[in-house]
Amino acid sequence: MRAARLIKMVLLLQSRPTMTASELARELEVSERTVTRDAQALSEAGVPVYAERGRAGGYRLVGGYRTRLTGLGRGEAEALFLGGVPGALREMGLEDVASAARLKVSAALLPSLRDAPRAAAQRFHLDAPAWFREPEAPALLPVIAEAVWDDRCVRARYRRGEEEVERELEPYGLVLKAGVWYLCARVPEGDVFRTYRLDRFLAAEPAQDRFLRDEEFDLPGFWATQAERFARSLLRAEVVVRLSEAGVRRLPYAVDPVAARDALADAGEPDGRGWATVSLRVESLEVAHTQLTALGPEAEVLAPAALREWFAADALRLAARYGSRES
């Protein structure tokens, strides 16, 4: 455990000019006192870790010290080769670069770990596109990907509804969601971050200028927030439902997970029979009918009246169907 932590500490210091004790403690998930002891242990082992005192001080490696990848364990080496989706790398024009990087890493591994790439490929394959659709990469994806890597501004023209819009964007990151590519970009005009579907881009021209990237920008966090906001924007109607204990457990699997989480969080105490009443946001009454049908007798719609009548009619039809003994 400590050996792995020491290796990670060296790699962190290789990747940054200087790191404070608090930064290292946060990355390594240990106390600052443990960081001090680990730095001393590395120094005693011949790794040139230098500690600078004072407000702007911290830890750094001296003399351009670099370590080889001989500290990788088998699990780490195998996981390393699962770092990307092959199809996505190909679509972004990065297949050759990624292949060269994998070869260099393989060459640096210990002989006993040289089979790690094959072992990982035999056991895991990441296929991102959704079912029942032919994946088609946007034609402008390689251009946008290169701009993202290079922190280069892009003049883009894209479809927004029935109109075409032209904007200068600072492309921060790309996201592949269920086979669809999205660009997360900052719009200098207004200083806001927005998300764009790449298949709606009609043109994209990289500019000569590079933008100064905000190093605090968190792409996974930004995407999670945007995705949840988008999911909520689709939920334009509300229904009131009583749920049995089984219905409560099954609700997140029947309706939108965000809507289910919100509804259950705001639900009151169950009644004497264990049934809870929730207010559930839904896309439409038609969608709610389809989704809540999956809960069967574990749910009772209370409102609106139109949806309750719809389920009542379904119940009468089911009773007639299953009550019939006709062959």
Contact of 154 with 196, CB cutoff 8 Å:
no
pLDDT tens for 131-154 read: 766 667 788 998 998 899 889 999
Q: Which DSSP category does 220 fall into? A: H
Confidence bin at 14 (pLDDT 50/70/90): confident
Please tell me whether residue 306 adopts helix, strand or coil conformation: helix
DSSP 85: -
Q: Is the pTM of this model over 0.95?
A: no
For 272-308, b/e burial (b = at least 16 CB within 10 A) is eeebbbbebbbbeeeebbebbeebeebbbbeeeeebb
**pLDDT level of residue 296 (50, 70, 90 thresholds):** very high
> DSSP of 8-65, one letter per residue?
HHHHHHHHSS-B-HHHHHHHHTS-HHHHHHHHHHHHHTT--EEEE-STT-EEEE-TT-
What are phi and psi for residue 243, nearest 5 degrees? -125, 135
Q: Which tokens in the block code for residue 190?
A: 């207004």
Specify the 3-state DSSP secondary structure of 302.
strand
Per-residue model confidence (pLDDT) at position 327: 44
